Amino acid sequence: MNVTNSIKIAKTLAIGSFFCLYAWACQSPAKQENASQVDTLSVSPDSIVSNSPAFVSLEDPQRDAWSKPAKVLEFMGDLHGKTLVDIGAGSGYFTYFFAQTNCQKVISVDIDEQFLAYINDRKQELDSGHKIETRLGEVQGPPLSVGEADVITLVNTSYYIQDLSGYFTHLHAALSASGVLYIIDFNQETEAALPQHPYISQAKVREALKNAGFSRISIDTQLLPYQYIAVAKKVK
């Protein structure tokens, strides 16, 4: 699998949970009833991994070449004693990297229970797995209490959030007084290489962050080859 195909598959799966839920909301009652029959099927995390190359590709070694997790962690700075939240965690690609830092806890959030089951299974194999807590997410807002998080990340997820300003407002409330929100999403230039997968513009993200009450916003376009990193802080 080449890097471009790996990006296509990984991006699709990383935000697929949000996309599916929004599609559900637009379905007719009859279609929802039929879909619910599929949702009730019992599928173990192991069978998802073994039967879905796309699922496995979320942690394909080639992804490291363009996601650059070590560079992202360096960019985020010292995480000592902090509570991190990985929203739209998928298979836990970034969750595992976060847990290996000197942070206190990583809250892994996704609206797909199968992804969370996989993370709960996998964390048992990690020395730092005790730091990881999974929570079932909702489209309307994160399952977080006020001021609970020091750092929140959204990776390739923002495009599929319908009320972006509203969701970011929830994240603003969930951050501690000195908390930071990191949004990693694909650049407009990436659209030429990945025409099947839409991006969200930096301007739209910045506007939604301002509407949500974030006062210090910066965007890095140099660190990652295909993505930008928006950084939003509560402090003035």
Q: Which of the four pLDDT bands, split at 50, 70 and 90, describes residue 62?
A: confident
Sign of CA dihedral 207, 213, 215, 218: negative
Q: Which of the four pLDDT bands, split at 50, 70 and 90, describes residue 141?
A: confident
CB 180, CB 215: distance < 8 Å:
no
Q: How far is CA 94 from CA 14, 73, 178, in A?
A: 11, 10, 22
The residue with tokens 């080639």 is 62
Give the separation between CA 133 and CA 85, rounded to whole angstroms: 9
- Of 125-134, 136-145, 146-155, the least confident: 136-145
CB 35, CB 180: distance < 8 Å:
no
Mean pLDDT for all residues in the chain: 78
Which two three-digit tokens encode residue 47?
């069978």
pLDDT of 40: 28
Closest to 155 measured CA to CA, from 65, 102, 89: 89
Answer with the residue of higher pLDDT: 89 or 23. Answer: 89
In DSSP notation, 100-166 reads TSS-SEEEEEES-HHHHHHHHHHGGGSTTGGGEEEEE--SSS-S--TT-EEEEEEES-GGG-SSHHH
pLDDT of 191: 58
Report pTM. 0.77
CB 164, CB 171: distance < 8 Å:
no
Stretch 163-176: mean pLDDT, rounded?
96
pLDDT of 63: 76
Closest to 141 measured CA to CA, from 224, 79, 71, 85: 85
Stretch 18-47: mean pLDDT, rounded?
35
178 burial class (0-12, 13-18, 19+ CB within 10 angstroms)? exposed
Q: Which residues contact 99 (CB under 8 A, 6 or more apart)?
A: 106, 123, 126, 128, 129, 131, 132
User: 124 pLDDT exceeds 80?
Assistant: yes
Q: Give me the amino acid identity at 233.
A: K
User: 162 pLDDT exceeds 80?
Assistant: yes
